[in-house]
Amino acid sequence: MQGTDVVKTAGSRLPSEVWVLVVASFIIAIGFGIVAPVLPMYAASFDVGTTAVSAVVSAFALVRLLFAPVSGRLVARFGETGTYVAGILIVAVATGACGFATHFWMLLVFRSVAGVGSTMFTVAAVGLLIRLTPAPLRGRASGLWATGFLLGNIAGPIVGAGLVGFSIRTPFVAYAVALIIAAAFVWLFLRRSTLASLDQNKAQRTMPVREAIRSGAYRASLASGFANGWAVFGLRISLVPLFVVEALHGSPAVAGISLSVFAVGNASVLMLSGKLSDSIGRKPMAVAGLAVSAVGTFGMGFTGTVPLFMVASLVAGVGAGLLNPPQNAVVADVIGSKAKGGPVLAAFQMVTDLGAIVGPLLAGVLADRLSYQAAFTVTGAIMVVAIAFWLVAEETRPVDERVAEVVAGECGALDEGPELPTGARVGGRPRQPDA
């Protein structure tokens, strides 16, 4: 068998370490889904106003935004695995403490500390995903990882609804336990991994943001990340429920169903988008995702009935699912496997969080001063602007077989790949017998 043929076959399966991250993301997302619906009610139980309740929700995102650069430096200094586990444990302790808060200010502080840990494990997880995954499979790995989070977010509220029956504080303790399980799972399975241990190589250089920003593809990812944060993590959560109730005269339950419809559309295409971005390219899939998202977002604002709104929500969810894997894969391609990308990943995360913070505020002003249609139209326009960035960006999908061979050589024999005889060469390096 020729060297390139071996690479093609071995590179067709993801390393088992990637599956570890996917399972951990599912566990983490279940915990987050348990807490998210309860948090506003829990904050209100301290006899505070709507503004204070909103502050608890916003504090988490704001701290994530402010701490992201520090998280990037921590990843560069201590490696992805250590930062990942430490971040999860910080969120676990802080969230568990929220369940025992006796004053509102304590809840606000504990929730803010959780934001610190959240950005740590998010940046570190993406960094690990980039380094562990062979370049030709980055889109597929990104789609799989995002699917784990999405399924966890769908299952979490169902579990949380049952826990609230015991006490409104119980979901916070349950989330803390779920995070400890996730941290133990990652440590147990990655502590002896040769691939994961490579992050201890201090000689590996750290890519600065100013170097990454020279890439048109990275700038396009920043633009679409901001638009995605604005629409998916901001507008969808803050304005869609109000639009359903006030403009469409639906019930809060209908608003919740619309969010689930969006999630179904998202989940239905994540894996497909990841595979296509690895086969036909990152750029066409990102453009398609933004275009579909823009159509769905425009449509949501101009629907007059609940069934049509559900259709528009489904379309918007499909668009978000198409965008996510190629967008993340491009960031991974820009960083590459020979550099630490903590600061570059942190900048990307910051831009997405900024969109999630700014989007709801500006959309809310537009809805109050003009109309809901204006808010949805501006959101769709932001996506169209992001499309313009992608149209002039370069394609980063590795197409040269020699590039794939080098990457496969750096990553070593994949755990789920075919069995190669001892001495067979993958990427120019002989396969060693199993220990």
Query: Residues 88-130: pLDDT tens digits?
Result: 999 999 998 988 988 889 988 998 898 888 888 888 887 777 7
Instruction: pLDDT band for 44, please (50, 70, 90 cuts).
Output: confident
Range of the domain at 343: 206-413
Please tell me which of 245-259, 372-386, 413-427 the model is most confident about, judged by mean pLDDT: 372-386
CA angle 180, 28, 90 (to 5 degrees): 50
Judge if 163 and 262 occupy the same domain: no
Tens of pLDDT along 312-322?
A: 889 988 998 89
How many CB atoms lie under 10 A from the CB of residue 52?
A: 16
Backbone φ, ψ for residue 429 (5° rounding): -120, 130
Q: Please give the model's pTM, rounded to 2 decimal places.
A: 0.70
Judge if 93 and 121 occupy the same domain: yes
Q: How far apart are CA 159 and CA 64, in angstroms?
A: 26
Judge if 130 and 23 occupy the same domain: yes
Q: Length of the chain, please? A: 435
Quote the tokens at residue 128: 């690990």
Please report the pLDDT score of residue 406 as a whole number: 40
Residue 424 has pLDDT above 70, yes or no: no
Smallest CA-to-CA distance from 334 within 196, 209, 199 is with 209
Q: How far apart are CA 21 and CA 356, in angstroms?
A: 24
Please report the pLDDT score of residue 90 as a whole number: 93
Sign of CA dihedral 200, 204, 210, 213: negative
Instruction: Decide if 118 is inside a domain.
Output: yes
Kindly state the percentage of the chain with pLDDT values over 70: 80
Tens of pLDDT along 352-395?
A: 888 877 777 787 778 778 888 888 888 889 999 999 999 998 88
Instruction: Decide if 200 is inside a domain.
Output: no
Q: How far apart are CA 134 and CA 361, in angstroms?
A: 40
Residue 210 has pLDDT above 70, yes or no: yes
**Integer CA distances (angstroms), 224 to 61, 217, 218, 298, 406, in order:** 19, 10, 10, 17, 30
Among the residue ranges 24-38, 191-205, 321-335, the one predicted with the least confidence is 191-205
Q: How far apart are CA 18 and CA 222, in angstroms?
A: 24
Instruction: pLDDT band for 334, please (50, 70, 90 cuts).
Output: confident
Judge if 178 and 232 occupy the same domain: no
Judge if 95 and 141 occupy the same domain: yes
278: helix, strand or coil: helix
Determine the straight-line distance between the first and last CA of the chain, rounded to whole angstroms: 25
The residues that bridge with 340 in the sheet, in sequence order, are 206
**CATH classification at residue 395:** 1.20.1250.20
Instruction: Decide if 5 is inside a domain.
Output: no
Judge if 229 and 325 occupy the same domain: yes
Judge if 269 and 392 occupy the same domain: yes
Q: Where on the phi/psi map is residue 79: left (φ > 0), alpha (ψ -120 to 50), or beta? A: left
